[in-house]
Amino acid sequence: MAVELPLTVDNINLMDDELFETGHSTEAFRILRNERPVSWTPGNEHTKGVWNLVKFEDVMHVSRHPELFSSEQGIVQYEPTNMDEATAAADGNGKMLITMDPPRHVKLRRLVNKGFTPRAVAAMEGHIRAITKELLDDISEKDSCDFVIEVASQLPLAVICGMMGLEKKDWPLMFELTNKVLGSGDPEYQTDVPEEERGTPDAARITGSMGTMQMFAFFNQILDSRKAQRRDDLISLLVDSEIDGEQLTDEDILWFCFLLILAGNETTRNGISGGLVSLFNHPDQLEMLKADMDNLLPGAVEEILRWVSPVTHMARVAT
């Protein structure tokens, strides 16, 4: 739908993708923060309605009180009203780290953090620099390139797949399935649905479910391989890990693999791409950064995450 201009507190629809695509979201959030920091977006025949909180203090309060605002019933703003059993299972609510509440969330996160200690991250720096150099070398001789596809998508994919010990031949499949699950509403990815049915909510649910099942089938084979022979990778670490004296189940590990390959890939891709666009749109900031990279880069990364917001929302269910 077209964004109605000028924006007012009564015509802002945070569920409208075009609000973000056309660059009006920053102004929309400013208006809502000042005039209606708590607002209601009604549902429809396909999805439930939601309350929107846009002030920092409110968002922090919700995120810090999981006993009142649960993640286990979904973390996206619009949940289907008529979700079938297969689709509900594919959502992974209550099974992934991101859709768990304490105390299990805390215990699993503490366990997984072993793979992301400062020492572990520092050890990856050389590998990440080498991947980045290779990607930039590949495009350096071209007149133009698709930065999203050729760089921003490939860098996080290569890093995450490397952490999980996946062979390079499997990376294109992970890229395909990631797009299928996260872009399930895009007719381009709805190849499991008859052409005449593409572009519908049902087609999106089928596409997301199929992509999830295909990804689980792939990681199930990898998990069996790691059980038979450990490697120096994150999946092997999880195979040997315990919570409260009990080993993680296969389902625990599979859902973690699913979350890492999707969330880590997509958010980093969007952060890199959006950050570059933002710097091009604000050349004074780009020149400032180039002039003092050593001192400004850490803060620039944080500012890109704030400004671009590769994760545009989080949802909770009030208990």
Task: Quick: pLDDT tens for 219-239.
Answer: 999 999 999 999 999 999 999
Nearest to 105 by CA among 76, 72, 140: 72
Six-digit token string for 37: 């920091």
Instruction: Give the Cα separation of 263 and 149 in Å (integer).
Output: 17
**pLDDT reported for residue 116:** 81
| Both structure tokens of 14 | 């945070």
* pLDDT band at residue 139 under the 50/70/90 scheme: very high
Q: Average of pLDDT values for 89-114?
A: 83
Residue range 253-276: average pLDDT?
92
If 0-12 CB within 10 Å is exposed, 13-18 middle and 19+ buried, where does residue 98 land?
middle
- DSSP letters along 300-317, please? HHHHHHHHH-SS-----E
How many other CB atoms are found less than 10 A from the CB of residue 198? 19
Whether the predicted pLDDT of 161 surpasses 70:
yes
The SS3 call for residue 64 is coil
pLDDT confidence of residue 265: 85
Which H or E element spans position 89? helix 85-91
Q: Given this model, what pLDDT does residue 300 score?
A: 97
Mean pLDDT computed over 111-135: 89
Mean predicted confidence (pLDDT) in 107-123: 86
- Cβ atoms of residues 36 and 13 within 8 Å: no
pLDDT digits (tens, 9 = 90+) for 16-67: 889 988 889 999 999 999 999 999 998 877 778 899 999 999 999 999 999 9
pLDDT band (50, 70, 90) for residue 87? low
Residue listed under structure tokens 């391989």? 225
How many C-beta atoms surround the C-beta of residue 42 within 10 A? 10
Using CA atoms, how far residue 5 sits from 10, 12, 26, 185, 281, in Å, is: 11, 9, 14, 26, 22
Q: What's the CA gap between 72 and 105, in Å, rounded?
A: 10
Contact status, residue 223 vs residue 250, Cβ threshold 8 Å: yes
Residue 90 is predicted with a pLDDT of 52
CA separation for the pair 264, 256 (Å, rounded): 11
pLDDT bucket at 86, cuts 50 / 70 / 90: very low
d(CA 139, CA 134): 9
Helix, strand, or coil here: 258?
helix
State mean pLDDT over 155-173.
94
pLDDT of residue 84: 54
Strand partners, 318: 69
Percent of the chain with pLDDT over 90: 70
Range with the poorest average pLDDT among 71-85, 86-100, 189-203, 210-224:
71-85
Measure the N-to-C terminal CA separation of the chain; round to a whole number of Å.
33
Q: Has residue 1 got a pLDDT over 70?
A: no
Query: What distance in Å separates the CA atoms of residue 148 and residue 145, rounded to the nearest whole number?
Result: 9
Higher pLDDT, 313 or 156: 156
Residue 219 pLDDT = 98
Q: Can you tell me the mean pLDDT for 125-153?
A: 95
The tokens describing 19, both together, are 């609000």
- Under a CB-based contact definition with an 8 Å cutoff, are residues 101 and 71 in contact? yes
The pLDDT, as a whole number, for residue 295 is 98
- DSSP 3-state assignment of 256? helix
Are the CB atoms for 216 and 258 separated by under 8 Å? Answer: yes
pLDDT over 90 at 269, yes or no: yes
Q: What is the pLDDT of residues 176-186, one digit of tens each?
A: 999 999 889 89
For 273-285, how does the pLDDT look when each residue is reduced to its tens digit (9 = 90+)?
A: 999 999 999 999 9
* Helix ranges restricted to H, 43-117: 56-63, 85-91, 104-112
Asked whether the beta carbons of 235 and 253 are under 8 A apart, the reply is: yes
For 52, 60, 142, 156, 275, the CA distances from 266, given in Å and listed in that order, are: 23, 24, 25, 8, 14
The residue whose two tokens read 């195979």 is 239
| Count of helix runs (H) and strand runs (E) in the chain | 15, 6
Q: What domains lie within the chain, and their CATH numbers? A: 103-311 (1.10.630.10)
Residue 112 has pLDDT above 50, yes or no: yes
